[in-house]
Amino acid sequence: MRITYIGFGDFHRYAGMKQLCHFAQEVCRQGHQAQILIAGKADTVQSMEESPLAEVVELQFVGPFLTRSVRQRVKDFKPDILHVWTPRQVPALAGLQLQHVTDAKLILDHEDDEDYHARYQQQAWRRNWQQGLRRWLLPLNLARNELHSWAKPLQANGGAFRGAYDGLTYPRIMKRAQAHTAISPNLVAWAKERSPDTPVYLLYPGANLELFSPQVDGGRIRTKLGLKERRVLVYTGTMSLEIFTWFMDVLAQVVSIDPDVVLVLVGEDRFRIAAERLAEERGLSGNYYLIGQSPYADIPNYLAAADILLQHALDQANALRLPAKLPEYLAMGKPIITFAEGIGESLDDGIHVCKLYSREPSEAASHVITILGNPMLQRKLGEGARELACKRFDWHKNGAELVQIYHQVLSQR
């Protein structure tokens, strides 16, 4: 069996691409062949913890059309299945075009609220073109021969042609799909509602249970950051100034009760200057570390350094998403504070995780203080988290499940 995966972004930045790569590895280990088309740099696969067993190909376009060389690479591979990993923008556009040049079955993988993203892309495209037209009509710009200035906004949406095309490709590829996979029960229901006549399969993501394990020693990170005797909260993943502000609101309330607590944030840090100013204004400069992006192989060491793993509650798509970090958090066997929406509905509060039922920082702060003051609760939450990870988020089990899904799809008429 041959599977071509079409992914969104590169392996270094996007957690969903790491999931894709792991699934491709498992499929290859079971004796099948895989090809990964990536909307980014192919060499970012080096950030993964093992060399890829699949062929990795960079997607290339001329305007909205795949280059002939990319189409030929896929035709020569002769896939049985095209698995589009999030049906938006580049993957959707590539999937539609490649379905025309192969005999492959088309499967869409859903990790998020794609309706939301499609609306966002259409709005962004309209804003870019409106801004460009305003500059085009501005006589001063024309008089100064600054034609390059109006063109810039048209290029701001991941390529003007592909951005404009996204509003058309998403509904088209949803209609063309012969099956769907979705990473949470909520997303399965979402996909069934939109494609009632097409099979939808639950495909949980996973974690490397050997790499993310209670046996990982966090002492090196604690020593490096000077945290040996302090109580540590850790978050890894998507970062923004809004998210950072929420964490500072939580931290301020925790530190007012326990000044020894430190928050370690691992993720993008393009807002670092504003973050440092905010932390200084709140008197928290000595209570947090903004690490920035870190190699994937280092993430387990940061998680192992934690007393509590903390997930923010600000995601607009919480009701559908399963954050890729959550299986890794669970696998570490640490107490976890996460949101109650979406995938949280399938987790037992007080057994697997400690749930947040609001976005109020005071609720998260209260949970932090409670857990830090109760060693028995820490142990109970950690053991429950690890047990669930082994049961639900094992790469090997979920990879075998994906192969069975492929066999069922190929057996369809």
Residues in the chain: 413
CA distance 60 to 4: 16
pLDDT-based confidence at 96, cuts 50/70/90? very high
Per-residue confidence (pLDDT) for residue 278, from 0 to 100: 93
Q: What is the share, in percent, of the chain residues with pLDDT greater than 70?
A: 85
Per-residue confidence (pLDDT) for residue 227, from 0 to 100: 93
pLDDT tens, residue by residue, 255-300: 999 999 999 999 878 888 999 999 999 999 999 999 988 888 899 9
Residue 156: other Cβ atoms inside 10 A? 15
CA distance 27 to 54: 9
Least confident residue range of 15-24, 124-133, 321-330: 124-133
Residue 404: other Cβ atoms inside 10 A? 10
- Which tokens belong to 172? 């088209």
| Higher per-residue confidence, 181 vs 135 | 181
CA distance 264 to 283: 16
Least confident residue range of 35-39, 42-46, 315-319: 315-319
Per-residue confidence (pLDDT) for residue 128, from 0 to 100: 57
pLDDT-based confidence at 123, cuts 50/70/90? low
pLDDT-based confidence at 119, cuts 50/70/90? low
Residue ranges of domains in the chain, CATH in brackets: 2-116+156-206+395-411 (3.40.50.2000), 219-392 (3.40.50.2000)
Q: Which positions ≥6 away from 206 have C-beta within 8 Å? A: 19, 22, 327, 393, 394, 395, 397, 398, 399
CB 172 within 8 A of CB 100: no
Per-residue confidence (pLDDT) for residue 342, from 0 to 100: 74
Per-residue confidence (pLDDT) for residue 155, from 0 to 100: 43
pLDDT tens, residue by residue, 167-211: 568 888 999 999 999 998 888 999 999 999 999 999 999 899 999
Least confident residue range of 95-104, 170-179, 338-347, 352-361: 338-347
pLDDT-based confidence at 118, cuts 50/70/90? low
pTM over 0.75, yes/no? yes
Please give the average per-residue pLDDT across 215-242, as a whole number: 92
CA distance 212 to 204: 17
CA distance 315 to 15: 15
Per-residue confidence (pLDDT) for residue 130, from 0 to 100: 56
pLDDT-based confidence at 151, cuts 50/70/90? very low
Instruction: Say how many CA atoms lie within 13 Å of 331 toward its Cβ.
Output: 24
Per-residue confidence (pLDDT) for residue 177, from 0 to 100: 95
Statement: residue 364 has pLDDT above 80: yes
Distances (CA, A) of 230 to 170, 221, 233, 259: 49, 12, 10, 9
Highest-confidence segment of 39-43, 200-204, 312-316, 322-326: 200-204
Statement: residue 145 has pLDDT above 60: no
CA distance 74 to 28: 17
CA distance 49 to 395: 14
Per-residue confidence (pLDDT) for residue 136, from 0 to 100: 47
